[in-house]
Amino acid sequence: NYVSEWNVETKRNNKGALILTVKGKNDEQHRLLTAHVDTLGAMVKEIKPDGRLRLSMIGGFRWNSVEGEYCEIETSSGKKYTGTILMHQTSVHVYKDAGEAKRDEKNIEVRIDERVFSADAVRELGIEVGDFVSIDPRVQITESGYIKSRHLDDKVSVAILLKLIKRLQDEKVTLPYTTHFLISNNEEIGYGGNSNIPEETVEYLAVDMGALGDGQASDEYTVSICAKDSSGPYHYALRKHLVELAKANAIEYKVDIYPYYGSDASAAIRAGFDVKHALIGAGIDSSHAFERTHESSIAHTEALVYAYVLSE
């Protein structure tokens, strides 16, 4: 409903992703920006004899990062049940190895908030193998400007792109190039932005996140510009253009390399598309776990995206 009020062309592809198009002066050479709305989660792998659920991971995270977290199971009929993701050996009063047992799909399980003690009782609720399990994001926004939540990767960037489109509409801005905005929904499993790219597309900018940790330049207060990830280097000239835009507009930025990372843009390159690709995003601490960023990083990312779509 939010997007339908705008004067932009919209469509959904067969995978359910949303594509929005803003016409520009140059309709022969296009740009495409993407952010992904999908996130990490799980699927019911097995209904155990004691009524608990064994999980299969969706996306790349570590089981220890969701241990103790609330979750929601959605059945094929749409009914939802709450639960908690726990180690089987949780109680220190019962299990001597509660602290040492391996956090893996054999030991991690869901305790459903229903009176069930058998697999048959769970199935009577309508829960079956293949049902999706979502993880409570636990969103908090602090007075000091921090946003704490799971799934900031990549909900932050989706919000940035939607806000950008609305700004372009409100300010009646005419872009130099026809620009597509792809809200992809399969990035975390590797192929979100690798299709439905118009053949006129010359530049492809993934708006995702900067990863923080030892040896990284990225932080929670600037926009991250990726030079290279596990797929290889991003397009050098386009990366330089983004850096020049940041300098010209007093946008605080960091250039960084992410050793265990892939994006919608790298998925498009792997699929064989002939585009110049780049990756930027807000700096996200503890990615794919208890994530956090700061409003200043989001603001600098917004500013760089805006400067980019207006640039010649």
pLDDT given for residue 192 in this prediction: 83
What is this structure's pTM? Answer: 0.95
To the nearest 10 degrees (0 to 180), the angle between helices 236-248 and 295-310 is: 110
C-beta of residue 46 within 8 angstroms of C-beta of residue 34: no
Q: What are 312's two structure tokens?
A: 């010649």
Domains defined for the chain, CATH in brackets: 3-38+151-310 (3.40.630.10), 41-136 (2.40.30.40)
Q: What are 220's two structure tokens?
A: 């929670």
Q: Is the pLDDT of residue 1 over 80?
A: no
pLDDT in tens, 77-118: 999 999 999 999 999 999 999 999 999 999 999 999 999 999
pLDDT given for residue 83 in this prediction: 99
pLDDT in tens, 187-236: 999 888 999 999 999 999 999 999 999 999 999 999 999 999 999 999 99
pLDDT given for residue 259 in this prediction: 97
Catalytic residues: 187
pLDDT given for residue 186 in this prediction: 93
Binding residues for Zn(2+): 36, 153, 188, 208
64: left (phi over 0), alpha (psi -120 to 50) or beta: alpha
Beta-carbon contacts of 28 under 8 Å, excluding residues fewer than 6 positions away, are: 200
C-beta of residue 225 within 8 angstroms of C-beta of residue 297: no
Average pLDDT (150-168) is: 97
Give the phi and the psi of residue 45 in degrees, each rounded to 5: -95, -35
Q: Is the pLDDT of residue 69 over 80?
A: yes
Label residue 117 exposed, middle or buried (CB < 10 Å: 0-12, 13-18, 19+).
Answer: exposed
pLDDT in tens, 120-137: 999 999 999 999 999 999
pLDDT given for residue 3 in this prediction: 86
